[in-house]
Amino acid sequence: MTIITPIRTQAEAAYISQFPAFEAGLTTRDPAGLKLRRAAFERFVALGLPHRRIEPYHYTDVRALLREVAGPAVHAKHTVALPEMAVLPSALSALEAFKIVLVNGVLDRARSDLGRLPEGVKVHEEAEPAVDGGLADDPMIALNTAFMTGRVVITIEAGIKLDTPLHLQSMIGGAAVAVYPRVTLEVGKGAAVTLVESHFGPDGVAYQNNSLVEIVAGDDAKIDLVRVNAHGKAAADFSTLAVTLGASNVFNAHSFVTGGALSRHQVFLRLEGEHSVVTLSGAMLLNARQHADTTLVVDHAVPNCQSREHFAHVLDGEATGVFQGKIIVRPLAQKTDGKMMSRAVVLTDGATMNNKPELEIFADDVQCGHGATVGALDEDLLFYLQARGLPKTEAEALMLQAFAGEAVAMIAHDGVREALDGAIDAWLKERA
C-alpha cells in the first residue's frame, strides 16, 4: 500500500522551520558531522512524523499526539537557573553515585562529579554525532541526529569494575524547550558498570526530550542500565537505546516510567557475540491522560544467547500503555533461549492497554516464547486483603506494589532497586 503523507502538521512544520537557524548557529564546523545532521534532517523532511500507518508506531501516533514543538534549547543552556528546575525525584536523591549532569541536553561540568571519577572511567564531549545510529528509518532518531546538542562519551576501560553507579541526571527547565542529548557508553572488555539515567523537569511546562543512548560492549562486560522517566506531566519524551553486545556479556536494562504526557522508549538490542545474557524489564505507572510506549527489538544474530523481558503496566485514569516487543532469531542463531512477558493492570474503563509481542524466528533449534496478559486486579485477592481489615485503597496499593515490584526486582543493584521501590510507593500514595 502506498502511504500517502498528508499535509504537514504544525509540529512537523516547526521542526522543519527550526533547522536552518539551528544549523547556522552551530559553533563547530566539522564537515562530516554537519553532513550527518543535514542527511538526517532531509530524511525527517521526507518521512514526516511517524503515524499509525507506520507499523512500529501503530499505537503511538506521534503525528496526532504531538501538537507543538518548542525551539531547540541550545542557545539557552547557560541561562537556566537551578531553582527553576524540577528537583531530582526524592527517591533517587539519596542514591550514592558519581553524577554526570546534563542541563537542557548539554553537559554541565560544574554540577557533575567529573573531577572525582574513579580510575579507568572517562567522560568527554564530542560536538558532532559519530554515526546516525544505523536506524535511519526512524524519524524521531533522525531528529536527534539533526538537532543533537553535544554528545557525552562515557568510557569504562577494560577490566574496570565499578561498585558505585554512575548517575546521569538529565534536567530540563526554564521555558518550554526541546532538547536532543546523546550519550555514548563504551564498556571495555571485562568491565562492569551500573548507569542510572534520570530524566526530569518541571510540571506544567510542555518541553520535549529526544535522547539517544548508544552502548557498545566489549566481551565479558557486565552492564546494568536503569532509566527513570520522571519528566513533568506536560512533557514529551522520545528516547532510544541502541545496544550492541559482544560475547559473554551480561546486560540488564530497566525502564521506569511515571512522568511525561507522551513518552516513547525504544530499545534496539543486537546480540553479536555468543553466550550473552540479556534481561530487559520495566515498570510503567501511568494516570490521567498519560501515554507511554515501550518498543523493543531484540535481535539474536548469533547462537547460544539468552534474553528475558518482563514489563508491567499499571494504568489508571485515562492513561494508555503500549508494549511492543519483538524477538528476532536469525538463521544462524541456534540454541537461542528467549522469553518475553508483558503484564498490565487496567484500573479504569477509561484506560487502554495495547500489547504487541512478536516473534520472528528463522532458526529451528530454539526455545522462544512470549506471554501477554491484560486485566483488572484479582477480585478474590482484594477481598482476601479487605477481609483482613485493609481498606480497599490500601489493599489495592499493596497488590499494585507487588505487581510493579516484580519488574523492579529484576534490577541487580540494591540501592537503585530500593530507590525505585520507594518511587512506586510515592506514586501509590499520590494515587490514594
Partner 1 sequence: MVAVKETVEQVRALDVDQYKYGFSTELEVDKAPKGLSEDIVRFISAKKGEPEWMLEWRLDAYRRWLTMTEPNWARVSYPKIDFNDSYYYAAPKMNASPKSLDEVDPAILDAYKKLGIPLREQEILAGVQTSKIAVDAVFDSVSVVTTFKEELKKVGVIFCSISDAIKEHPELVRKYLGSVVPVTDNYYATLNCAVFTDGSFVYIPEGVRCPMELSTYFRINEKNTGQFERTLIIAEKGSYVSYLEGCTAPQRDENQLHAAVVELVTMDDAEIKYSTVQNWYPGDSEGKGGIYNFVTKRGDCRGANSKISWTQVETGSAITWKYPSCILRGDGSRGEFYSIAVSNGMQQVDSGTKMIHLGKNTTSRIISKGISAGRSQNTYRGQVSAHKKATNARNFTNCDSLLIGETCGAHTVPYLESKNSSAMFEHEATTSKISEDQLFYCRQRGLSAEEATALIVNGFVKDVLQQLPMEFAVEAQKLISISLEGSVG
Decide whether 192 or 359 has the Cβ nearer to partner 1.
359
Beta carbon of residue 297, minimum distance to partner 1 (angstroms, whole number): 13
Beta carbon of residue 404, minimum distance to partner 1 (angstroms, whole number): 17
Q: What is the 3-state secondary structure (H, E, C) of the chain?
A: CCCCCCCCCHHHHHHHHHHHHHHHHCCCCCHHHHHHHHHHHHHHHHHCCCCCCCHHHCCCCHHHHCCCCCCECHHHCCCCCHHHCCCCCHHHHCCCCEEEEEECCEECCCCCCHHHCCCCEEEEEECCCCCCCCCCCCHHHHHHHHHCCCEEEEEECCCCECCCCEEEEEECCCCCCEECCEEEEEECCCCEEEEEEEEECCCCCCCEEEEEEEEEECCCCEEEEEEEEECCCCCEEEEEEEEEECCCCEEEEEEEECCCCEEEEEEEEEECCCCCEEEEEEEEEECCCCEEEEEEEEEECCCCCEEEEEEEEEECCCCEEEEEEEEEECCCCCCCEEEEEEEEEECCCCCEEEEEEEEEECCCCCEEEEEEEEECCCHHHHHHHHHCCCCHHHHHHHHHHHHHHHHHCCCCCHHHHHHHHHHHHHHHHHHC
CA pair distance 415, 57, nearest whole angstrom? 35
Decide whether 178 or 345 has the Cβ nearer to partner 1.
345
Decide whether 204 or 331 has the Cβ nearer to partner 1.
331
Decide whether 143 or 347 has the Cβ nearer to partner 1.
347
Beta carbon of residue 310, minimum distance to partner 1 (angstroms, whole number): 15
Decide whether 87 or 376 has the Cβ nearer to partner 1.
376
CA pair distance 162, 118, nearest whole angstrom? 8
Beta carbon of residue 278, minimum distance to partner 1 (angstroms, whole number): 18
Decide whether 264 or 313 has the Cβ nearer to partner 1.
313
Beta carbon of residue 372, minimum distance to partner 1 (angstroms, whole number): 4
Q: Which of 282, 162, 228, 284 is nearest to 416 (CA)?
A: 228
Decide whether 340 or 420 has the Cβ nearer to partner 1.
340
Beta carbon of residue 319, minimum distance to partner 1 (angstroms, whole number): 11
Beta carbon of residue 5, minimum distance to partner 1 (angstroms, whole number): 14
Decide whether 120 or 350 has the Cβ nearer to partner 1.
350
Beta carbon of residue 265, minimum distance to partner 1 (angstroms, whole number): 19
Q: Applying CB under 8 A, which residues contact partner 1?
A: 1-2, 55, 58, 331, 334, 344, 346-376
Beta carbon of residue 75, minimum distance to partner 1 (angstroms, whole number): 43
Beta carbon of residue 360, minimum distance to partner 1 (angstroms, whole number): 5
Decide whether 231 or 313 has the Cβ nearer to partner 1.
313
Beta carbon of residue 326, minimum distance to partner 1 (angstroms, whole number): 9
Helices 392-408, 414-431: crossing angle, 10 deg rounding? 150
Decide whether 250 or 374 has the Cβ nearer to partner 1.
374
Decide whether 199 or 313 has the Cβ nearer to partner 1.
313
Q: Which of 196, 239, 241, 86 is nearest to 420 (CA)?
A: 196
CA 123 centroid distance within chain: 21
Look-up of cell digits 514526516: 48
Look-up of cell digits 504537514: 8
